[in-house]
A and B are shown apart, each in its own frame.
Chain A
């Protein structure tokens, strides 16, 4: 008569596990424990907390050393099964099992003469290897590779599955990938593709791990038996079992993402999309993973996004969201897939907006799971690339803006970065969004984040501020400027991270753009900001930083006489210095964008109607600018060519006639 949960409390059971003296009593207690925890996360946690794992492991270890008066095999099987169950799907369980020293004992079961014992040991180890916490297997040691090969060559399918799981868990670097493929593992895994269900699945996962960003292994695989191995994987995408179909798709996606020339055929691409869509209907983990696989298939690939759009993927994903509460993992995957779809194609964005699911995305911004919140922000960022819909005010409302601002306080950095991305897009060009955002106190929060220790947060915060100041009227700019302060802005220009420097300079560029008063910002507090820009131009090496810096100077040089002279001072810091001016260096740059920015500055500095133009023309000519410009008269970049001509004309007009 099996004992039920209510007759014996957990403490009692653990007591019997450790105190039972004879094999039979131990076995009974072990089975009882095993049957209570299998499938039951709550029970696993409570038994782990009560310290059941070490008791089980000590039964295992004494049975390994032969104890058990005729029960030893059963004790091995039952204790290994209980350990495996503790490790199944619960990281705390894996940790407890490893801490209790179960690993070497389980490993010794693999060479046990009894098949059932081998099965139980291999299953438990596989469970452990499914967790991130499992110890890393060192493939680079010869005896380890031999042991791995012996596992894969085993007749027992649990043991071969274990071999494949070890690869999936532990193979990370390209050196390890190479070692595995040199040792003939690929061939072994290919042969397992024709094996049982569990062997096929395990092999597909291991193959995908070896293929990841490893074109060599892929060519080797694709060349195997003139493409038969690849065909076998393609065939498995039609398998009866959903998980097998999913793993085959993931394997093909890895091949394609690493080696885009394979699987170019439209048929197979569409097929992958359709299979993944169908797998989304699976209520379990397969459905969750399918959403992520879809995202990795279409991310940054416009051809696939187009195909997905034609296959109605937007509608289907939205239907999943509409159907009611979706599990967090799946919700995240679907939002990310939608984000990928909308990242490039306006057709997808319009479709998404017309399906009226935006309120669901807005709700996702306050989801319990940080991953879902971040995914919702990324999705909004993609959708808000639609200038047409943003202008029409189609989706930005106060609720959305307020929620986005609240997310700036989020405890998760990845959410903060994602929400900054969304805000950057939403505030870029549209008066209504900007005012709502400013009224709701968004600027203060952005300024706070621009001082974050995390450089990704910092760069995104400054980016958002930059977009916020784009084409804004001067009153609003002033508000932003006061909040930001001169000292913060100049320290952002001097940030040690070039990407932050770039965004900070772009922010200044936007600040000083537009009406003539706005140029004054860089002259505040003894021209602190202007000097910061000048200093950065002298020392920075990244083209993007220099481009933004030069545009700041161009914008300032479009101002009054005093402004132009200040720019001259930044370009030629020491009077009479014979060293080459930075502006020459920029005019000679390989980057046409930097050349454009530099010529613009020259054009603004030599604008004829201003009184000091003559003096500047002389100074620029002496610095060799004119001869440099003459060399650029046929610049391959049309924009540069055009500005160079304007500049040269101005030299003639304002100059002494010696051009």
Chain B
């Protein structure tokens, strides 16, 4: 966060001078960067937040032991959440639903859209496995009532059932429903819902911080030449191009 505010402050200073493009040398820049104090604990918290949200439970456990950073959530719940996510990713949707319900029965009871998407994914898996009759029965028994309750569900249901109408599903207009990406989409929706039910943010903080950095740099580019970070993975400062 502090880095972001630092860049913003730079921006303001430069704006106040209202000159043409200012050049900031690497030396000046590094000197200013050194003045910014970032607490180690805050950095660690950011890392822990990333590991927890993304579900790297082993890494989080190790990191906790090594850095002494306490996660803001019971690590055991991560294992459960990951098991749900994995089940959806592998196409075991029914299993995933049961696991979510064990975790917290409120999630699917109070989240009709997510429940519908999981049921839809179940239907997609039945169609993928060629179980046409079972798929039709499932659509009629389980999904049709949801469609009656909600117009947009009905449209999505129609799109999904359309898969049955094509001989070659991979090349049909709704073929993307059979893509792995559809499973990933559903999996991440479940993941987010579980996180929310645990009062945890559904996205890690780190990526948005990096987005802010890029935004701030782009703003600064218009006013000044300065040592930019182009490679986010290594965070090396490039020499300002004049």
Contacts and interface: CB of A to CB of B under 8 A. Distances in A.
Interface of A: 2, 4-6, 31, 34-35, 38-42, 81, 84-85, 88-89, 123, 127, 157, 196-199, 240-241, 283-284, 324-325, 327
Interface residues of B, number: 28
Given A39-B112, A283-B152, A6 B105 contact: no
A324 B109 CA distance: 27
Given A2-B95, A284-B112, A38 B196 contact: no
Contacts, number: 66
A4 B105 CA distance: 18
A190 B95 CA distance: 40
A289 to B, nearest CB: 14
Interface string B77-114: 00000000000000000110110010011101111110
A6 B101 contact: no
B63 interface: no
Contacts of B142: 5, 40
Contacts of A84: 105-106, 109
A7 to B, nearest CB: 11
B140 to A, nearest CB: 11
A325 B151 contact: yes
Given A39-B112, A283-B152, A88 B106 contact: yes
A6 B134 contact: yes
B109 A85 contact: yes
Contact of B201 (A34, A240, A283): A240
The 10 closest A-B pairs by CB, nearest first: A196-B199, A39-B115, A197-B199, A39-B108, A42-B145, A81-B105, A88-B109, A38-B108, A325-B151, A38-B109
B110 A88 contact: yes
Contacts of B197: 198
Contacts of A127: 106, 109
A2 B99 CA distance: 11
A6 B115 CA distance: 19
A157 B199 contact: yes
Contacts of B112: 39, 284
A283 B101 contact: no
Interface of B: 94-95, 97-98, 101, 104-106, 108-113, 115, 134, 137, 141-142, 145, 149-152, 196-197, 199, 201
Given A42-B145, A197-B199, 14 more contacts: A2-B95, A2-B98, A6-B134, A35-B97, A35-B101, A38-B109, A38-B115, A39-B111, A41-B145, A85-B105, A127-B106, A157-B199, A199-B199, A327-B150
A198 B195 CA distance: 12
Given A31-B98, A35-B98, A81-B101, A283 B113 contact: yes
B101 A38 contact: yes
Nearest to B122: A4
B95 A34 contact: no
Nearest to B105: A81
A85 B101 CA distance: 10
Contacts of B104: 123
B196 A241 contact: yes
A237 B108 CA distance: 26
A85 B95 CA distance: 19
A123 B137 contact: no
Contacts of A35: 97-98, 101
Contact of B106 (A123, A196, A325, A327): A123
A273 to B, nearest CB: 27
B105 A5 contact: no
Contacts of A81: 101, 105
B189 to A, nearest CB: 13
A322 to B, nearest CB: 15
A437 B109 CA distance: 49
A147 B215 CA distance: 52
A168 to B, nearest CB: 16
A261 to B, nearest CB: 35
B193 to A, nearest CB: 12
Contacts of A197: 196, 199
Contacts of B108: 38-39
Contacts of B95: 2
